Structure 1
Amino acid sequence: MPKWVYQFNSSNCEGTVSQKPLLGGKGANLAEMGKLGLPVPPGFTITTEVCTEFYKNNQKYPDDLKIQVEDAIRNIEKILGKNFGDVNNPLLVSVRSGARVSMPGMMDTVLNLGLNDKTVLGLIKKTNNETFAYDSYRRFIQMYSNVVLEVDHHNFEDLLDNYKLTKGVLSDTDLKADDWKTIVGNYKDIVKKHTKKDFPQDSHEQLWGAISAVFKSWQNQRAKTYRRLNNIPE
């Protein structure tokens, strides 16, 4: 079975810094840092070969990728003592892009993935900070909707600006938990209006949506232009 996923953490890392063509600069450097004993948060890198297969096969993933990703998620859960999609102790992840040569800001990233209407309650229990939890959730909705669902970010920013205006405040930090909870609902309404679907609540659906979006961002216009201007191979 081809190896599509390389795991990394502080005690066991697959891959080395010499494998940038396979793991991208970020993935290769994280693996090397782990091997040096530096404190690396657990995660995994999906190889550049998967991206090649993705485009070669009409944006379909290779066989066994899902199994390897699920195994990597379970390993992160074991290390951190959290569970992906769990309502009491949720594991939240980020999905980041990488390439053999650094392309800062050219490809997409999704943070706080795993938050939904139920796991946000678990985050509140763990942090004892309702404002932080709902602010994180609304940020995730905006980022995921823009990157994955292709809902323009101005829709969310305009709503937030108008909300602060009606509340008579200037800064996001002036808003309280109930405000962010209301904004979360309003953001989900924006998603429903533009996509005709509810914002995805299943953490695994969110994950695969984000993975696909990051792969697709390799071919977005700003990334292609950056590669052309900097003589970076396709």
Structure 2
Amino acid sequence: MTIVRLGSGDGADFEAEAIGAKAANLHRLMRLGAPVPPAFVLPIALCGAVLAGDPAAAAQVRAALREGIAFLEQATGRRFGDRRSPLLVSVRSGAARSMPGMLDTVLDVGATLTAVRGLVRATGNPRFAYDCRRRLLESYGETVLGVARTAFAARRAELMRGEGVATEDDLDGEALERLAAACEEVSSRAGAGVPDDPVAQLEAAAMAVFRSWTGDRAEAYRALEGLGDLRGVAVTVQAMVFGNRSLRSGAGVAFSRDPSTGAAAPVVEMLFAAQGEDVVSGRRTPQSGEAFAAALPEAAARLGDLLVRLEREFADVQDVEFTVEDGTLWILQTRAAKRTPAAALRFAVDFVRAGLIGPAEALRRLAGIDEAALVRTRLVDAGPAVLHGIAAAGGVAVGRAAFGAERAVALAADGDPVVLVRPDTSPSDVAGFAAAAGIVTAAGGRTAHAALVARQMAKPCVVGCAGLAVVAGEGRAGFAGTVVREGDWIAVDGDRGTVHLGRPAVASERPEGLDEIARWRAASRGAADGVMPAG
């Protein structure tokens, strides 16, 4: 079993069914000349053997990883685990169809103590080096060792209280070194801890990504989305680029058009001095594209040009993950954007009018959408908003407040609609997403996992509600000072980004574009019957 080196060869055999949609798109990006860090892939075919416990599979994985790391070292001029010019890698998952956030990823693999000292030598920035170490320990601990995310969060909070700072962004290099040591202690309690051997880290991370295929959230998502025919997951290993390296660095997600409303304008969100997981996790609320353009105009302009080019190349609205390292733009992923039904309708009409797709393709893209879901809804006499946030997925929902995924499922089983209200959400909340009529979070942006899944499931979603404080264990929340208890009725307006108390009525109206869809369908039926359309 050999690796697939992305960007090499003619690409004829690099299909999503073989190496995953993420890697197939990265290969296509490289061949287009987009700035993509070097990467290689362990194909999907290896996943079944690993999950079956085939003794030969582990040896195949080790051999493939050795070959792949040699390729990355040659491509980057850095060495894995080196004490002077260390190579760090990300280990990412990729199925043949997009499963946003449902499979595992481990970042900063190779950040051993020796490599961290090498990063300090190479950059003169101990804060950056120990931040990479801390991130590896947390990512590896959660994904490989099964340590609860809350265990790391508790140690972070304890150290930040001692330092008198609000976030880890305010910690200096010495404090981050102590935080990394604290994270190492947490991981060690899980057994063997995180090995200080880069090859051992890489092998364990790759095997964990393969095993995530059978994780609860991945299986639940495939069942909900009808993806039972997928055969497994590929593992993409990519040279790290560092959005946490400096204040001229950052990580973000961009959509070539608005995936909630369908507006023909890009949506960009970014966190400065951060890595990609900070953005998509929804644990932090990102800054706008305008802030990105003001701080890093050259990188922002290049991203804008790429969004236009990629939309035309793929003939669909793109969801792009990117990193900026010291002002240099890197693209880490592109895929067809998850979208609300209303946005899907507008995209279809706009793309046909622009000549990017034909009516038959537009109808195919809309085939899985219930026409009732295309009807626009609005709240009637909702009263003043008690929360204001970011409109992440359009539409409105009225339901009983639930402060956890399990409670949302339980309350929905009683027959009333439910609104899932969380400080932030993670992919493990997928059952709560499915049960809820709407979703509200205190943190996150339009590019967080919660927002992506909400759009795909056509659930109204408002994120980044700064006035929201959830006390889930006590079954209550503060809505800008107003106490809401579990089971109370609330309303979500995913178009305006507001949350209201009570049970207002909902009105509906017919959207623009349905008449055009009806004409396409009539023409399609006429062509099938051998009748030429009039005119």
Both proteins in one fold, TM over 0.5: yes
Letter in 1 for 2:6: F
Q: How far did 1:186 drift?
A: 1.4
Give secondary structure in 1 for the equivalent of 2:211.
helix
Question: Is the aligned partner of 1:181 residue 2:177?
Answer: yes
The residue aligned with 2:223 is 228
Q: How far did 1:63 drift?
A: 5.3
The residue aligned with 1:73 is 69
- Which one of the candidate residues 181, 195, 199 is aligned to 1:200? 195
Note closer, same or farther for the CA distance 1:57–1:15 as it changes in structure 2 (3 Å cut): farther
Q: How far did 1:68 drift?
A: 3.0
The residue aligned with 2:47 is 51
* Higher RCO (CA-CA < 8 Å; seq separation 6+): 1
Structure 1 residues without counterparts, runs of 5 or longer: none
Question: Is the aligned partner of 1:25 residue 2:21?
Answer: yes
CA distance in 2, matches of 1:89, 1:99: 32
Which stretch shows the higher mean deviation, 13-22 or 69-78? 13-22
- Whether the 8 Å CA contact 1:8–1:14 is kept in 2: the answer is no
CA distance in 2, matches of 1:50, 1:56: 10
The residue aligned with 1:8 is 6
CA distance in 2, matches of 1:16, 1:126: 39
Greater Rg by CA: 2
Offset from partner CA, 1:119-144 (integer Å, 9 cap, x none): 10101111211111111211110111
Give secondary structure in 2 for the equivalent of 1:111.
strand
CA distance in 2, matches of 1:193, 1:45: 32
- Please give the residue correspondences for 1:135-214 in structure 2 after superposition, counting only pairs within 5 Å: 135-195=131-191, 197-214=192-209
- Whether the 8 Å CA contact 1:16–1:32 is kept in 2: the answer is no
Offset from partner CA, 1:187-222 (integer Å, 9 cap, x none): 111122221x24210000000100010000000001
Give secondary structure in 1 for the equivalent of 2:34.
coil
Give secondary structure in 1 for the equivalent of 2:29.
helix
The root-mean-square deviation of aligned C-alpha atoms, in Å, is: 1.8
Give secondary structure in 2 for the equivalent of 1:30.
helix
Give secondary structure in 1 for the equivalent of 2:93.
coil
- Whether the 8 Å CA contact 1:13–1:34 is kept in 2: the answer is no
Q: How far did 1:118 drift?
A: 1.1
Note closer, same or farther for the CA distance 1:166–1:68 as it changes in structure 2 (3 Å cut): closer
CA distance in 2, matches of 1:87, 1:40: 25
- Whether the 8 Å CA contact 1:144–1:210 is kept in 2: the answer is yes
CA distance in 2, matches of 1:14, 1:223: 32
The residue aligned with 2:115 is 119
- Whether the 8 Å CA contact 2:88–2:111 is kept in 1: the answer is yes
Q: How far did 1:37 drift?
A: 3.0
Offset from partner CA, 1:20-48 (integer Å, 9 cap, x none): 10011011111222223333211101110
Offset from partner CA, 1:138-179 (integer Å, 9 cap, x none): 111011111011111111110110111122111212211111
Give secondary structure in 1 for the equivalent of 2:90.
strand
- Whether the 8 Å CA contact 2:61–2:203 is kept in 1: the answer is no
Larger strand percent: 2
Give secondary structure in 2 for the equivalent of 1:104.
coil
Q: How far did 1:13 drift?
A: 4.5
- Whether the 8 Å CA contact 2:194–2:201 is kept in 1: the answer is no
- Whether the 8 Å CA contact 1:4–1:49 is kept in 2: the answer is no
CA distance in 2, matches of 1:63, 1:88: 30
Which stretch shows the higher mean deviation, 74-83 or 33-42? 33-42
Letter in 2 for 1:148: V
CA distance in 1, matches of 2:71, 2:134: 28
Letter in 1 for 2:30: G
CA distance in 2, matches of 1:18, 1:201: 34
CA distance in 1, matches of 2:128, 2:70: 26
Structure 2 residues without counterparts, runs of 5 or longer: 231-535
Letter in 2 for 1:43: A
Larger helix percent: 1
CA distance in 2, matches of 1:135, 1:58: 37
Which stretch shows the higher mean deviation, 128-137 or 57-66? 57-66
CA distance in 1, matches of 2:61, 2:159: 43
Which stretch shows the higher mean deviation, 186-195 or 19-28? 186-195
Q: State the aligned residue count.
A: 229
Which stretch shows the higher mean deviation, 185-194 or 94-103? 185-194
CA distance in 2, matches of 1:42, 1:15: 15
Give aligned-pair identity as a percent: 33
Letter in 1 for 2:98: S
CA distance in 1, matches of 2:70, 2:14: 27
CA distance in 1, matches of 2:21, 2:107: 19
- Whether the 8 Å CA contact 1:92–1:112 is kept in 2: the answer is yes
